[in-house]
Every structure is written in structure tokens, then in C-alpha cells.
Amino acid sequence: MTSSSQINIEALKSMYGEESIRELVDLSMDEAGKLVDSLGRNIPLKDTDEVTRDAHQLKGMASTMTLSQIFEFSRELERHAKDGQWVETDNMLAEIKRCLVELQDYLRDTPI
């Protein structure tokens, strides 16, 4: 899937208005980075409460910002953490990180 299909810029403009979309995207990417960092710290500790909380927040942000792949991987990460499937949480976090890198590259090169 290409990065342009990960995020629906036109839907975001329609929901939030063109003038504020860049700020919302930037704030969301910053928040996603913080949540991913926290997940990276807490998954090795097998901290179910922190991991499920962060995954849930990331899932909500991804839904709000039309980040479909990140939403799906966050949902799976949250489920795996609740089930104690820590290898799978590592895999989902790796996928989220990959998506974020691709998305950041796309957003850097795409005027909004």
C-alpha cells in the first residue's frame, strides 16, 4: 500500500478545514511518535496496562486522522497485549514504525 493511500487528505480537509489540516497532521505525527516511543519502552517490560493504553490512544488518533494501516496495526497490538502475546506486539510495533516512516516521507514531499 502506498503512503498516499494510508491517509485520506481530502477527507481530513472536509472534516477539519483546509487551513488547519497541516497543523493537525503535524500534531498527530508528533503524538504518534511519542506513543510509539512509549510502546517501545513498555513492550519489553510486558507492561500490559501501559501497552494497551498507548495502543488504544494510537488507534484512536489513527482513526481520527484517517490513518487506516496504523489503526489496524494498533488495534492488533492492543489485542495481542491484552492476550499476553508479546512476540506479536513486537511485530505490530515494527509495522507501525514502518508505516510512520513511509507516511512521514510522503507528507514531507506532498503539499497539504
Q: Model confidence at 20, in pLDDT bands (50, 70, 90)?
A: confident
Question: Span 80-108, mean pLDDT?
Answer: 96
Within 10 angstroms of residue 68's Cβ, the number of other Cβ atoms is 16
Number of domains in the chain: 1
Instruction: Write down the pTM of the prediction.
Output: 0.91
Domain with residue 14: its CATH number is 1.20.120.160
Enclosing domain of residue 104: 3-109
Please give the pLDDT value at position 1.
46
**Distance separating alpha carbons of residues 66 and 101, to the nearest angstrom:** 16
- Is the confidence at residue 3, as pLDDT, over 60? no
